[in-house]
Structure 1
């Protein structure tokens, strides 16, 4: 595994957030979940932002879109996948409570409309914050089933542009793990996509050269890695990196969601150290979640 080279210094797009998570490039803006506030925020590249909606969740919650353009929100502690209707009301799209009493975390909708949500799983061991996580599939016909288990703190997920591979960040195992996606959305052939050494991957996204960018909270950086584990680029910042997303007009802007980390017990507080940072990179985004929302399906 080679050491990565720095791509330069990221600039601040906006600040004053709590914890930004689940970034998505959609309709020419960066959408994100402002954990601790219930807000879903949309930010333009010039830093102008607005609260697009407020959801009945504090943390964790995450977002993506259905093929028809309706917004999905994972209300993690409540065990519900919500859907925003045309009149802006939120309704239940899927109920995950019978699968686990533990919080759900991230979501990705692939190019066929299959929805993957991770988290849940069995109760944590004494003294632990999280137990082994799972991945559940919600198909376009509304069926819900578990498709993977024993994920070591399930975090960011991304699907390759051919809809054939799902990559998930296993933060506590310090690796990216890949699955083959079957015709029915099922997952198989679990394998290590990249062993990340001493890094702890959080949010991830895929670029057009087949590399993955991952955010890392304790090491305060975002890193671009090839399948097999070669780290080829990195962006160092002054606080924890929670998630990243490729976007902008040509998909070649890496947006980083960063905040000061003071432990799980202090995640909900009045501190507003969260920032959106950006930096130009060489390869555009691809796959799902997709930056090219206008041509997503």
Structure 2
């Protein structure tokens, strides 16, 4: 191991270098770390595995660095080979058949369909939800009851340390590529047997503090802003009464997005069991990429019990262009 202890290395190469995604992985798996003002901090014994290596100094431990998705030393192809194998991805278009839930979703509601299926089986699902007071603020939580499925329906933009939800031992985890990469790294380290991983397409995420500044500039109170959509090179902010809706050209609010996201090479969550997005499919449909046998079994079950409808009508070239664009 390098003479520099791994937390110091994490600070220098990830946190101070502007590569930290705030995914929560290091503070989930390292027994000595916590979060201070949304940043990893090594000061308190905590972590998913309480007692694990607590008597080992940072000079003898490498957990925090080895689970970090922002590490410049990460070999993604090797990790993919270790945890995914050589299964060829299958790409489909999917749409949830529950019309009530479909109306609440951004596109086809595939992630909501999976949430519904898991909860109906009595399983727990880790998701991102909106804050009840400030709807554009995102929170990570674990759902346990079927009637909670609606709380996670629809698209959420925001940076949340979702990996911390593993403390709740969920059966299914829905997050971004940075989250699923961190969990797969932990799996490769032998730290965890991961839940079913659902990865959401993501080009870049929102800086909530900068979002608040933009809301102030356009005269919208943060408690009144209920939804944000990013499409057609525009940022669309919806308010509670729909009277003060705002549309802003994307080029005018570049500060809205996290600088850290520019380092991410994975817009399609390629280490998930199933990846979900909207690129390449028609309006009101979801694009799903099945990457593992576990993912295939889940989608087959959803098809068989009528939870979703699927087709092969997907423009896979659009997905390839998205990946190429992110790598530039």
Coarse TM-score class (shorter-chain normalised): under 0.3
Could you state the TM-score of these two structures normalised by the residue count of structure 1? 0.28
Q: Which has the larger radius of gyration?
A: 2
Could you state the TM-score of these two structures normalised by the residue count of structure 2? 0.26
Query: Structure 1 or 2: larger strand share?
Result: 1
Query: Structure 1 or 2: larger helix share?
Result: 2
